[in-house]
Structure 1
Amino acid sequence: MHHFRLHFLAAAASAAFLLAGCETLQGIDTQSLANVGGTAVKAMSLSDGDIVTMSNESCTAMDGKNKVAASSSAYVKRLDRVVKGMPATINGKGADYKVYLTEDVNAWAMANGCIRVYSGLMDLMDDDELRGVIGHEIGHVALGHSKTRMQTAYAASAARGLAAATGNSALKALSESQAGELAEKFVNAQFSQSQESAADDYSFDLLTERKLERKGLVTSFQKLAKLNEGSASGSSLMSSHPPSAARAAHMQKRLDKGA
């Protein structure tokens, strides 16, 4: 790791302590306090193996918190049909699809190949649109964005570690279910504008390579843009940066150019 990154993270942790104020720091377990900075630093040095392990645990935790559609479900059968022809592996990890039965409009993918699609999204999208969104999520994994997102989720536990050191029992209880916490942090985190745009282009290129319909990338974002009007949804699909309308326009421009 570059030394400047280590110094930056250490400084950031120190700044958090100072902002907390002297009274807050009184009586804090010094070992727990030291672990806060260590967590932030460790997050940036997690190996690919660490990320996969954490993704395995986080995905299992999310499956336990949600209603997973049975293999006989019409949703699962439709998803199987939609992803036929899509990559069976991503960065060497097998693609593992499941459907969550919920009205929420969302989908996400982790670095271990865990891909989860919400039935609310499936109800909103036709097959081509759904395939485009899934290609986008695959792009986040293939391009390393999901790894970075997990690092960010892990680093976020540093703040909870500081609070737990002050004796906050609720946060201590949360720390006992780290996998669930990481999963929630991961799913609710936002990708950067450049990452979202890169994943859009990845999906477009993937569909082009596989000779699959690409128009769904335009209409899916148009639907999300319309749905997002006046919505306070926190899902990564709904809280789009850049806005869904702009992303739809970019996909249309590529279609018009034929590339």
Structure 2
Amino acid sequence: MKRITHIFFLILWLPALAQAQGGLAQAGLEAIQSLTLTNQQVATYSRQAVQQMDAQNPVAGPNDPYTQRLNRIVSRHRSINGIPINYKVYKVADVNAFATADGSVRVFKGLMDIMSDQEIMAIIGHEIGHVVNKDSHDAMKSALRRSAIRNVGAAQDGVIGRLSRSQLGGIADYLVGAKHSRDQESEADDFAYNFLKRNGYSVMALATSFEKLAQKGSSGGKVGEILSTHPDSKSRAQRVRDRARRDGLAR
């Protein structure tokens, strides 16, 4: 399995607006593409990349107990903040999950094995928070600025073409090391907190999910990139608990 490098990495391959020629500097081309990348392009490339990842990972079928459980958990949330969401389970032991700008949410078997239903909903809420807050778009532009474009092809008639398998296979390499800022992570946590509160879930599920991740990491458990790319889980859990007490939702 090609390892997913981040719980909410938004994934892209870089389309070219024009064929690179002569003295056009690499930095100049990257800057142009960074500025002209549209939300529609972000969603298009995200969707294509997720389809490629689905083909490379064992996806739980419709009658699989993991799929049935996830469908039960998210049955009320097929659309969040106007974004249609599609959910799948990867039958992979890593404790991980991610969401992308096209509304794809992928939850790993390893995460479901250690989380309660409401904790899974809390993690999903956090990931959707990054999409709603446009953090994924920002991460894509940051990756574009850092990347080295090796294969530049012109878009025909302004239409973005489908990515090749080889291009999709190289996407993660361009995004290795990309992380959301601490403020973006906190804002996604706040989105998840408000989402849980608004929909009648216990906001403490967000705190306990972070505490489980911290415990899993400290015990040497396999947590994929979920801890290495996020702020300290114990601190995040305490922040949720403090807010819940201020809101009268916890002692």
Q: TM-score, normalised by structure 1?
A: 0.74
CA distance, structure 2, for counterparts of residue 243 and residue 78 of structure 1: 29
CA distance, structure 1, for counterparts of residue 96 and residue 184 of structure 2: 17
On the 8 A contact 1:103/1:119 being kept in 2, the answer is yes
Q: Which runs of 5+ in 1 are unaligned?
A: 1-28, 166-174
On the 8 A contact 1:150/1:182 being kept in 2, the answer is no
Deviation of 1:217 (Å): 0.6
Aligned: 1:74 with 2:55: no
Aligned to 2:180: 191
Q: Read off the aligned partner of 1:74 and give its amino acid letter.
A: P
Which of these residues, 34, 44, 47, is aligned with residue 53 of structure 1? 44
Relative to structure 1, is the Cα distance of residues 226 and 234 closer, same or farther in structure 2, using a 3 angstrom cutoff?
Answer: closer
Deviation of 1:30 (Å): 6.8
Relative to structure 1, is the Cα distance of residues 78 and 66 closer, same or farther in structure 2, using a 3 angstrom cutoff?
Answer: same
On the 8 A contact 1:154/1:182 being kept in 2, the answer is no
Deviations 1:26-68 (A, max 9, x none): xxx9759734541344124301111111111111111111111
Q: Read off the aligned partner of 1:193 and give its amino acid letter.
A: R
On the 8 A contact 1:108/1:115 being kept in 2, the answer is yes
On the 8 A contact 2:213/2:223 being kept in 1, the answer is no
On the 8 A contact 1:58/1:183 being kept in 2, the answer is no
On the 8 A contact 1:110/1:141 being kept in 2, the answer is yes
CA distance, structure 2, for counterparts of residue 186 and residue 91 of structure 1: 27
Which one has a bigger Cα radius of gyration? 1
CA distance, structure 1, for counterparts of residue 237 and residue 124 of structure 2: 15
Deviation of 1:202 (Å): 0.4
Which structure is higher in helix share? 1
On the 8 A contact 1:36/1:159 being kept in 2, the answer is no
Aligned-pair identity in percent equals: 37
Q: TM-score, normalised by structure 2?
A: 0.76
Q: Read off the aligned partner of 2:88 and give its amino acid letter.
A: K
CA RMSD of aligned residues (A): 2.8
Q: Which runs of 5+ in 2 are unaligned?
A: 1-19, 153-163
Deviation of 1:251 (Å): 0.6
Structure 1 residues 117-126 or 42-51, which shifts more?
42-51
Deviations 1:157-196 (A, max 9, x none): x3253xx89xxxxxxxxx9722233356558732111111
CA distance, structure 2, for counterparts of residue 147 and residue 81 of structure 1: 30
CA distance, structure 2, for counterparts of residue 61 and residue 145 of structure 1: 22
Q: Read off the aligned partner of 1:113 and give its amino acid letter.
A: G
Aligned: 1:136 with 2:107: no
Deviation of 1:149 (Å): 2.1
Aligned to 2:168: 179
Aligned to 1:169: none
